[in-house]
Structure 1
Amino acid sequence: MNRFQHVWKDKVAVLSLSIISLTTMAGIFAPFVAPHDPAEVHMELRFASASWEYLLGNDHLGRCVLSRLIYAIRPSMLWVFAALLLSVLTGSIVGVLAGYFRGKTDAFLMRVCDVILSFPGYVMTLAIIGILGVGFENVIIAFVLMKWAWFARIIRASVMQYAESDYVKFSKAIGASNLGIMIRHIIPVALPDIAVISSSSFGSMILQISGFSFLGLGIQAPEAEWGMMLNEAREVMFSRPEFMLAPGLTIVIVVSAINYLSDTLQVALDPKLMTSTYKQQGLVRASAVKLEGKGVA
């Protein structure tokens, strides 16, 4: 049975994938999707309610909330995804080298990772931002510098179990190069594990970048970002709470969709979890049949 049939049969997973895809496309084509210029100021429309022209109303400078929400997809989601890819790529290279060669290579690389991971993530991120300065680019750099070590340690553990496989030993016996073995035999079987840990980290990174922007450490005005939009709406959070609902609900919906899709992918890519899921489904169906036979249903 195809692994991904489990994903397509899960309606919530399909809905989550649709939300992520539509949000991504809206961010990529923001100039064509957004109804107005996100930086265009109309002070006469300051905190104006929703209308047909401005579907989500206007913020404290009279800017279109919907347009800013759409443009905010780029830093809040797309640039975070780029930082995730760079972190995963760096961590994968280090993890594969450490897990395959072991010995002194493994000891040296893991000690470097231990040094980085010994500091609390948020504290080190704030320290890096303090050194480099406030700004979205510096937050992204801090994310990459802090995240790659975590990915490297997890990927190393995955690679170590595959490096002892019979087909790897056979490849070494016939004289295959280490680089060829890693590219042909190690990386392909480790990709599902890499995909699972990457997808599970994506949602948390979106929350973190929104949190830093909310605190004023991330993206700066006049650019739009979901966390910064929440911060800008704080002054009217009691009189006009709807201005906090738009970016807040967007964060909740997107992160929830990413997390659910990540869990579904983990089940689809892990044969043990897949078997367990089908066993549970079989028990539920059997119980339903028994209850129906007894007239309970």
Structure 2
Amino acid sequence: MSLWNQLSKDKWAVASMSVIGVILLAGVLAPWIAPNDPYAVQMRLRFASPSWEYWLGNDHLGRCILSRIIYGIRHSILWVLAALAASVLIGALIGFAAGYFRGRTDAVLMRICDVMLSFPGYVMMLAIVGILGPGLENILLAFIVMKWAWFARVIRTSVMQYAEMDYVRFAKAVGIRHRTILIRHMLPAALPDIAVIASGSICSMILQVSGLSFLSLGIQAPYAEWGMMLNEARAVMFSRPELMLAPGLAIVISVMAFNFLADSIQVALDPKLRTKSARRRTKEAENKAYEYVRG
């Protein structure tokens, strides 16, 4: 049974994908669905309460909070997904090369990965941002520099497992080119594992981007970003706590959706976890039926 069929039967996976789909679509269509200009400063509406025109009210500069939340999807999620894709691509290229060819290639590439992984991730990210300066581009660059080695390590392990399969050995024996084997045989086999680690990593990357922006090391004004919006509302968090509620909920809902999706993908791909999940659902159904009979 395919991964999609497995996920379509999981209500949490369907709900998570629906939430993620709505969020991504809102980010892509932000210029058309945002009710107001997210960068328009209107001091007469400073800290204005929610109204029909401004559903979530206005911030300290009179800007529309809802519009900034919608535009913030681009910096908080869409660009993070782009950095994740670049990190996975680099890690996959190195991981496939190391796990498939083994020998000297594996030794050299893994020593480079060891050097990169020996540095504390957060410290290196702060160092890169400190040297290059705050900004979205520098944060994304820091992500790519620090994440690719970890992806390469994990993907290499997966590729080494599939490289010992009989059909791969047979393909090598009949003289099929390495590139063909990697694309037609190794990539489809390792793709589910890559999907699991990528879906699990997006959550930490979203939180890290928001955290750096909250510390004024990430996205800079006037651009909208959820962590920066939390930082801007921090000064009035006791008198106007609702200003922190919208960006905070946006971060929580997004991270929860990606977390649930990552768990569902892992369960769908791991027969042991899938069996445990099925047994648990069966046990719950039996308990409900027993309680109904007793009642």
The residue aligned with 1:225 is 225
Distance 2:185 2:2 in 1: 21
CA distance in 2, matches of 1:245, 1:290: 43
Provide the residue aligned with 1:194 in structure 2: 194
152-161 or 10-19, which deviates more:
10-19
**How far 1:269 moved relative to its partner?**
2.0
Equivalent residues of 2:94, 2:109 under 8 A apart:
yes
Q: Distance in 1 between matches of 2:280 and 2:132?
A: 51
Q: Write out per-residue CA displacement over residues 277-297 of structure 1, whole angstroms, 9 at most, x where no aligned residue.
A: 22332333345445555x2x5
Please give the alpha-carbon distance, in whole angstroms, between the structure 1 residues aligned to 2:12 and 2:282: 20
Conserved 8 A contact 1:35-1:67: yes
Q: Is the 8 A contact 1:136 1:217 kept in 2?
A: no
| Counterpart contact for 1:4–1:268, Cα < 8 Å | no
Give the whole-Å Cα distance in 2 for the aligned partners of 1:286 and 1:158.
38
TM-score (norm 2): 0.96
Match in the other structure for 2:246: 246
Look up the match of 1:263. 263
Does 2:82 align with 1:78? no
The residue number in structure 2 matching 1:204 is 204
2: distance between equivalents of 1:112 and 1:233?
43
8 A Cα contact 1:20 1:258, kept in partner: yes
Q: What's the counterpart of residue 31 of structure 2?
A: 31
Q: How far apart are the structure 2 equivalents of 1:287 and 1:259?
A: 28
Counterparts of 1:289 and 1:161 in 2: how far apart (Å)?
Answer: 43
One-letter identity of the residue aligned with 1:6: Q
Q: Secondary structure at the match of 1:221?
A: coil
Deviation at 1:136, TM superposition (A): 1.1
- Secondary structure of the 2:76 match is helix
The residue identity in structure 1 corresponding to 2:83 is: A
What residue identity is the alignment partner of 1:50? P
SS in 2 for 1:72: helix
In the alignment, structure 2 segments of 5+ residues that lack a partner are: none
Q: Equivalents in 2 of 1:67, 1:135: separation in Å? A: 21
The AA in structure 2 aligned to 1:73 is I
Please give the per-residue CA displacement for 1:158-214, whole angstroms capped at 9, x wherever unaligned. Answer: 000100110011011101111111111111100000011001111110010000000
Instruction: Decide whether the 8 Å contact of 2:12 with 2:264 is kept in 1.
Output: no
Distance in structure 1 (CA, Å) of the matches to 2:89 and 2:191: 11
Alpha-carbon distance in 2 for matches of 1:58, 1:3: 43
Change (3 A) 1:6 1:187: closer
Cross-structure match for 2:91: 91
Q: Distance in 1 between matches of 2:184 and 2:129?
A: 39
Q: Deviation at 1:221?
A: 0.3
1:138-153 maps to which residues of 2 (within 5 A)? 138-153=138-153
Cα distance between partner residues in 1 of 2:185 and 2:179: 10
Q: What is the alpha-carbon distance in structure 2 between the residues aligned to residue 187 and residue 78 of structure 1? A: 25
Q: Contact between 2:206 and 2:255, CA under 8 Å: does it hold in 1? A: yes
Distance 1:42 1:3 in 2: 49
Report what 2:172 is aligned to. 172
Residue 16 of structure 1 and its aligned partner are, at CA, apart by 1.5
Please give the secondary structure, in 2, of the residue aligned with 1:238. Answer: coil
Query: Given that residues 96 and 159 in structure 1 are in contact (C-alpha distance below 8 angstroms), is that contact kept between their aligned partners in structure 2?
Result: yes
Q: How far did 1:13 drift?
A: 2.3
- The 3-state SS of whatever aligns with 2:35 is coil
Residue 51 of structure 1 aligns to a residue whose secondary structure is coil
Cα deviation per residue 1:31-62 (whole Å; 9 max; x = unaligned)?
Answer: 10101111101001111111111000000000
Q: Are the equivalent residues in 2 in contact too, given 1:57–1:64 (CA < 8 A)? A: yes
Residue of structure 1 in register with 2:234 after alignment = 234
Query: Match of 1:119?
Result: 119
Deviations 1:112-139 (A, max 9, x none): 1111111111000011112211111100
Structure 1: which amino acid aligns with 2:13?
A
Q: Unpaired runs of 5+ in structure 1?
A: none
2:83 touches 2:143 (CA, 8 Å); kept in 1?
yes
Instruction: Provide the aligned length of Structure 1 versus Structure 2.
Output: 295
